[in-house]
Chains A and B, each alone.
Chain A
Amino acid sequence: MNVLEAMQNKILFFDGAMGTQLQARGIMPGELPELWNITHPDVIYDIHKAYLDAGCDILTTNTFGVNRLKFDTEGEYSVEKLICAAIQNAKKAASAYENKFVALDIGPCGKLLKPFGELDFEDAVSVFAEVVRIGTACGADLILIETMNDCYETKAAVLAAKENSDLPVFVTNVYDENMQLMTGAEPAAMVAMLEGLGVDALGVNCSLGPVQMLPVVRELCKFASVPVIVNPNAGLPVVADGKTVYDIDAVQFAEAIAEIVRIGARVVGGCCGTTPAHIEAAVAATKTIKLVEITKKKDTLVSSYKSAVMIDKKPVIIGERINPTGKKAFKEALRNNDIDYILGEGLKQQENGAHILDVNVGLPEIDECAVMCEAVKELQAIISLPLQIDTSDALTMERALRIYNGKALVNSVNGKQESMDMIFPLVKKYGGVVIALTLDEDGIPNTAEGRYKIAEKIYNCAKSYGIDGKDLIFDPLAMTVSADTDSALVTLGALKLISERLGCKTSLGVSNISFGLPQRELINSTFYAMALSAGLNAAILNPGSVEMMKTYHSFLTLSGMDENCAGYIDFASKHTFSADTAQAVGQNAADTTSGLQEAIVKGLKERASVCASDLLKSEKPLDIISKHIIPALDIVGKGFEDKTMFLPQLLMSAEASKAAFDAVKNAMQSMGDTQTKKGSIVLATVKGDIHDIGKNIVKVLLENYGFDVIDAGRDVPPEMVVALAQKHNAPLVGLSALMTTTVPSMQETIEALNQAMPACKVVVGGAVLTQEYADAIGADKYARDAMETVRYAEEIFGE
C-alpha cells in the first residue's frame, strides 16, 4: 500500500519535531542537525523509533536543510551522503513496523529568491531537484516540502519534485496569525497554485500552535480538493523564568488536533516543540472521529503571490491595457525595453479597479519571450493582482507560466487541435485557468449552437488532458454588430448555452462589438450590461474607461452584489472628486505667475504638470524648458551642493520637473517636434549587488537634465554592461556598488570596458566607495552623490 492509498480511509499521522529532540540530546545552537545522520545515526534512529511507537505513520527524514547551498557537494558529509544516511536511518526504524512511510523532508533553501533576494528561480529549482533525485534514488516513499514561507520558493520546490520524481508530493507552508505567508500569500492562493501544480496533499506547519491554526485550517479545507495536512507547533512559546515553555500541554495539543481533524484535515502531526507524547496523545484523541469526506471543489481560481481571485457570479474585470495593439507609445516602450512603462500601466489599472491584468507584449521586432518574462517578473514583484499571460507563441507561454508566481490565467486556447495540443499540456504541468475561444479550423460559427459545439469539443479535449471544466473560461466571441446585426444576440446565446450545459464560466472581449460605429463606448457599455445580465463572469476591458466602469458598478448594485451599495457610492464619489481636484489645482496654478518654477523647487508633481500645460498656451515648448524648468532644476541642484537642500527635496523636484517635461513632450509630439537628447549613458549596479536605490536616484536626475539613460538594472555582469555601452555607443558608463564585497566586480567591469571601449569614461559611486577606492580600481571619476554625476556628465558631453 502506498501513502496515497493509505490516506484514502484513515487519518495519517506525521511525526513530531526533530530539532527539539536533538536539542534535548545535546546539539548546540547553530550546529547542523543534518550532520547527525552520519555522526549520530543511533540518535536519529531512536528519535524515529520513539515517534513510530507513539503511533505516527509517516517519518520525516532529518534532511530539512540539506542542499548544495548549505552543504558540500563532495566529501564525507556531502549532500548525497547526508540524504542517503537520513533515509537509511528512517527506513531502518520503519522496517520493524507495517505500513509506515518515509518522507524525504525538504525545507527552505535558506536564500530569498529574486527580485527581493539574489537566487534565480531556475537556480532554486535546480538546488531542490538535486535533493529530490538523491532522495528518490535512496528509496523515500514520498516528498514533503515543508516550512515554506515564500510562495515562489514553494513553486520552485514543487516543480523540482514533479520533474525529477514520480513520488507523491506533499507541501506545507508557514502562515502567520494574519493567515499569510511571509511573502503575503493567503490560503486560497496557495491552494490554487499548488493544486494547479498537481501536488497530492497540502497544508500548514510551524510558527503557530494548533489553536491559532484553526482559521487557516478552515480556509484550506474550504478550497482544497486534495487532502489537507496540519503540523502545528506544540503551542505558542512563552518565557517563564528564563525558560521557553509552551502555553498548552500534550493533552490540550491533542484536543486541538481532534478539532482540526473534525474540520477536515486528513494528515496531522507536529512541528517545533512537539514530542512523541504529543503524537501519542493526538493519535488517541482522534481514534473515534468520523472521517470528513474530501470533496472536489468547483471554484475557478487564479492567484498571485498574494491572493486568489475567484471567477464566479460576481463579474471580474481583466485589464486590457498591457497590450501594444494600436498604441504608439506602448510599442515605443517595448522597443526601448522600458519596463517602467508597463509597470505604470499595471499600477494604473490596479488603481482603477481591475481584478486581473492581461499581459501581451507581442511585437514582431522584439524578443517576445524575453520581454514577456521580464514583464511578468517585474509586475508580479509589485502588483498583487493575478496576471493573464497573453501570447500565441508556445515557447513564450511555457516560459511565462513557469516563472509566474501563482496560478495564471492563460490567454488563450481555441478549438483547433493544434492549439489544444499546444496549450493543454502546459496547463496540466504548470496549472492555470484557460480562456477558450469558440473557433476552430472552420472559423467562427455564426450560430449560438455552432459555438457551443466547439466549446463542448474543447471541454472534452481538456478532460482528456486531465484538466477540469472549472479551469476553463469560454469566450463566445463578440463580433462586429455593424457587419451582422444578429451578432450580439448570437454571442449572448452561446454564452448562455455554455454556462447552462457545461456549467463553465464565460468571458468576453466586449469592445469588438462596436467596430465601425460612432460613439463606440455607448454600444460597448450597453452590450457589456446585456452580457452581464446574461451571466457573463469576466470581461477584458479598459478599467480606465469611465463608461464601462459605470456599467460595471451599477450592474453590481442592481443585481444584489454590492452590499449597502458601498462599491457604487465609493466609485461615484471618487469620480466627482477627481474632477474637482483637477480644477482646484488648475486654479492655483493660474494664480501664480512663476508657478512652474516654484512647483518644481517645492517638488509638487501635479502642480508642475498643470503649470506646464498652462504655460504651453502662451509659450513655446522649448522656451518652457529653458526658461522655467532648467532654472528651477539649477536652484535645487545648487541648493543641494551648498547643503541648504537635501536628497529628498532633490528627488521630489526631479519628479516634479519630470511631470512638467512629460506635459511639454506631449505638446511637442503633437506638433511633430522631437526633443533632442544629449547622449546616452549606461547605468548599472554591478554583479553581486542587488541594492540599487542609489543608482535609481542618479538615473532620475540624469534624465531630468536631458540625458538618455540606459538602465541595465542590478546584479549586472560585466559583459552585459559592455554590450549595452557598445550598442548605444555610450561615451559614459555609471556603476554603483553598495558593498565592499562587490567592489572587485566593479573593477572587473571597468577593465572589460577599458578593453572594449577605451574612449568610454566610467563614473562610480555607492556607499562603500571613496576616492582612493575609485582610483585603485581604475575609475575615471568618483561621484560622491547624484548631482556630482550630473555635473560630470555635463563635462563629458561638452557643456
Chain B
Amino acid sequence: MHISPVCTYAHSAQLNIDMGETLRYMGCGTQATEEIASLAARAIEAVQAAASCKACYMHCEIAFPQENVVDFGFMQIQSAGLYRHLKCCKSVYIFAATVGLEIDRLIFQYKHSSPSFALAVQAAGAAAVESYCDLLCAEVFEKEAEKQKRHTIPRFSAGYDDLSLEVQKQIVAALDCTRQIGLTLTDGCMMMPSKSVTAFVGISDIKMHTAEKCSACSNTECVFRKGSDL
C-alpha cells in the first residue's frame, strides 16, 4: 500500500477567525450582547496576532481487513466510528495542525486577571485552529483529490464517536509531530499546544453532500455540536 512521506504546511498570512464560531465556543451562540461581542472581537485580534500556524500530514492508502478495523499500511486502528466514516474511501490524509503555544500563553496570562477574556481567547483559539484546518483541507487535500477526480470527506478526529484519544500517540509518532510542528501529548493524550487538531480526512470517489464535520460525529449531546440548541 502506498504511504507518502510527511509533508509540512505553513501559513503565514493572517488567519480568518469567525466571530460566530468564537461566540459559539464561548457558549453564547448568537445571543451575544454588545459587551460580549466586543470581548470576542478583542480575543480574535489577540489570537490573530499570536497565532503561529503549522501543520504536517501524510497520505496513505487504506484497507479494511475486518469489520471495524482500518488498516493504514503501517498501523491498524479498531473503531466502529472511524470504520463507518472511512468505509467509502480508498485513501486518507492524516494530519496534525496547531496555531501554536502563544495562544496558551495568552490564556495563562489572563486566566487569573480576567477569566472572561481567557475564556474568549480559548474560544477564539479553538475557532482559529478549526479555520486553519479548513484551509489545509481546502488548499491541499481537496486540490490534490480533485486532480484525481476525487473528493475529501469531513475530517474525523480522535475523541469523535468511539475513536480513542490514545490513537493520537500513533498519529504523533507517524507524523513525527514534535519535530515537525512542536506538538506533544500529555500522559492523558491531550495535545500541547492545546489549540491543535489531529484528524483523518478520507478521499472518496463520491462527493458527499455535507462538508460539516459535526455531522460525522455520533455525539448528539455535545454542547458544541453545530445546529444544537444553545
Contact = CB atoms under 8 A, between A and B. Distances in A.
A655 B110 CA distance: 12
Interface string B113-124: 111101110100
Given A244-B4, A604-B35, A648-B27, A344 B113 contact: yes
Contacts of A176: 10, 52, 54
A652 B113 CA distance: 11
Contacts of B175: 29
A118 interface: yes
A646 B176 CA distance: 40
B111 A242 contact: no
Interface in B85-144: 100-102, 104-105, 107-109, 111-116, 118-120, 122, 140, 144
Contact of A30 (B31, B33, B170): B170
Given A116-B104, A647-B26, A647-B28, A30 B74 contact: yes
Contacts of A182: 52, 100-101, 182
B74 A742 contact: no
Contacts, number: 158
Query: Which one of B33, B74, B175 has the greatest number of beta carbons of chain A within 10 Å?
Result: B33
Contacts of B35: 602-604, 649, 652
A427 B186 CA distance: 34
A75 B54 CA distance: 37
A742 B188 contact: yes
A495 B75 CA distance: 68
A724 to B, nearest CB: 18
B192 interface: yes
B227 interface: no
Contacts of B194: 691
Contacts of B36: 646, 648-649, 652
A696 B5 contact: no
Given A239-B140, A646-B26, A652 B52 contact: no
B208 interface: no
A315 to B, nearest CB: 27
A29 B58 contact: yes
Contact of B174 (A29, A692, A700, A741): A29
Given A29-B3, A29-B74, A118-B187, A696 B112 contact: yes
Interface string A580-605: 00000000000000000000001110
Given A242-B144, A381-B108, A693 B4 contact: no
A795 interface: no
B59 interface: yes
A648 B120 contact: yes
A31 interface: yes
B112 A31 contact: no
B12 interface: yes
Given A646-B31, A690-B186, A739-B190, A116 B116 contact: no
B4 A242 contact: yes
A603 B34 CA distance: 11
Nearest to B100: A182
B214 interface: no
B111 A655 contact: no
A26 to B, nearest CB: 11
Interface string A11-40: 000000001000100001111100000000
Interface in A170-229: 174, 176-178, 180, 182-184, 206
A693 B115 contact: yes
Interface in B127-172: 140, 144, 170
B173 interface: yes
B192 A117 contact: yes
A562 B144 CA distance: 52
A647 B119 contact: yes
Interface string A237-250: 10100111000000
B115 A655 contact: yes
B119 A648 contact: yes
B215 to A, nearest CB: 22
Contacts of B111: 692-693, 696
Contacts of A739: 188, 190
Contacts of A108: 178-179
Nearest to B143: A239
Contacts of B3: 28-29
B202 interface: no
A206 B174 CA distance: 18
A117 B185 CA distance: 9
Given A107-B179, A110-B178, A647-B27, A382 B184 contact: no
A111 interface: yes
A23 B190 contact: no
A760 interface: no
Interface string A364-394: 0000000000000000011000000000000
Contacts of B73: 28
B146 to A, nearest CB: 13
A693 B119 contact: yes
Contacts of B102: 184
A237 B55 CA distance: 13
13 contacts: A29-B74, A115-B108, A184-B102, A244-B7, A381-B108, A648-B27, A648-B36, A648-B40, A654-B115, A655-B115, A688-B187, A691-B190, A696-B112
Return the 5 tightest CB-CB contacts between A and B, nearest first. A646-B28, A651-B116, A30-B174, A182-B182, A29-B174
Given A28-B3, A690-B186, 16 more contacts: A29-B58, A31-B74, A112-B101, A118-B187, A177-B12, A206-B179, A343-B113, A648-B28, A651-B115, A654-B116, A691-B190, A691-B194, A692-B111, A693-B118, A696-B111, A697-B115
